[in-house]
Amino acid sequence: MISVIVPVYKSEKTLVRCVESLLAQREEELEILLVDDGSPDGCPGICDDLARRDPRIRVLHKENGGVSSARNAGLQAAMGIYVQFVDSDDYVEPDYCHAMRQALEKSKGFMAVCGYHHHYVGSDVEKLPRAKETLLDLYKEGFLNMPWNKLFLRELTGSFPEDLSLGEDLLFNFQYLMACRGAFGREEADLSGSRVVLVERPLYHYIQEETGQSLSDKKRRDKLKLAKRIRKEAEEFFLSEAFLEKEGESLGEEEKRAIYQVVETRFLCECLDDVERLPFDREMTGRQKREEIRRLCKDKQVRRACRLGRPGPLDYRVIQWSLGHGFAGLTWLLSLLRSFVVRARRKCRGNASPVSNGSPGKRQWTDEL
């Protein structure tokens, strides 16, 4: 009935916990696809050991190609009517599969979206979608950006773009939603959100930890380029005919303004996340970090996002003002100030993770730090 795809790479400390949470599912008809993406640690052996323990587990060993490649391999091998994705460093509640399948079948929808626990900095913050939220609302609140809190119809899934290292999950979801429009027709596949079923329960545990990995200068430039591409794709998706109930209709100016603001806010939060991460980068020099901020200050699209975006968190809004005015030095000082507070909280809680989730409007200064 359901195929759960788990890409596996360098997760030998968390893999067993992840798989055991899947084996404990209430859903009876379940296959668990562990896709070993050429992991250089003990994960391949752990996967094989787990498969010998339970016939519901299948293992695919492949050369390293990245998380999108692993998920695509899982999609090609999946046999279920539905498909779900779980990351190997996360885990799920016992009702994760059953509750979403039940909700989808009861409503005759084509995508189920559940809430999740966001574990970071020693905190457990619940993120819940709310009833009557549209797709634009879900995108605004960060619920459309990932594949792991959703249930898909396997026959309508496409593939994850393997040439991207940012935003590939969102593009996969956009592609899937448009495929539903093509399969069900305009009236049945209402992409305004009525056929997207919201399960207002935190069924997934998303573990976010600081990896200590640093991006090279080229990757940083590529990341900004990719963020711009994702912003463009999102704008085109929400301005497309997908949201029109009748042929020949057009979006009103007020609707367009709302879309522009949400898209700019999401793009801005990606940039602000990068600024707030800079003090924690272990490989860049202080000069390189300040140069990165100066580059963002000079970028026209970033400046535009600073004017139009409306992030909710206080720390985002303070840095947004400084970045938007081109105050590179002040922006750097503000990010340093924030890092001091983060480190103090890390020391108090004994759990390190300064990275924010990039979801606008969902946190307060003290909560996120």
The tokens describing 84, both together, are 């779900």
CA nearest 111: which of 141, 72, 84?
84
| Segment holding 202, helix H or strand E | strand 196-207
* Cβ-contact 3, 73 below 8 angstroms: no
In CATH terms, the fold of domain 2-207 is Spore Coat Polysaccharide Biosynthesis Protein SpsA; Chain A (3.90.550)
Q: How far apart are CA 275 and CA 295, in angstroms?
A: 11
pLDDT for 359 equals: 38
pLDDT for 192 equals: 53
pLDDT digits (tens, 9 = 90+) for 55-113: 999 999 999 999 999 999 999 999 999 999 999 999 999 999 999 999 999 988 899 99
> Which residue has 């990995």 as its token pair?
213
- Please state the domain extents for the chain: 2-207, 217-368
pLDDT for 356 equals: 39
pLDDT for 157 equals: 95
Is the CA virtual torsion 214, 216, 221, 227 positive or negative?
negative
The torsion of the CA quartet 134, 183, 144, 106, rounded to 10 degrees, works out to 70
pLDDT for 21 equals: 97
Mean pLDDT by 10 residues, the chain (369 residues): 96 95 94 96 96 96 94 96 96 96 91 92 84 84 92 95 85 91 60 76 87 42 83 89 58 85 93 89 86 93 93 90 94 92 74 40 33
pLDDT for 123 equals: 78
56 Cβ contact partners less than 8 Å away, ≥ 6 residues apart: 23, 30, 31, 32
Q: Kindly report the backbone phi and psi dihedral angles of residue 301, in degrees, each rounded to the nearest multiple of 5, phi listed first.
A: -70, -35
pLDDT for 39 equals: 94
Cα dist. 354→9, 19, 127, 348, 365 in Å? 23, 27, 18, 13, 13
> Which residue has 């799920």 as its token pair?
92
pLDDT for 193 equals: 52
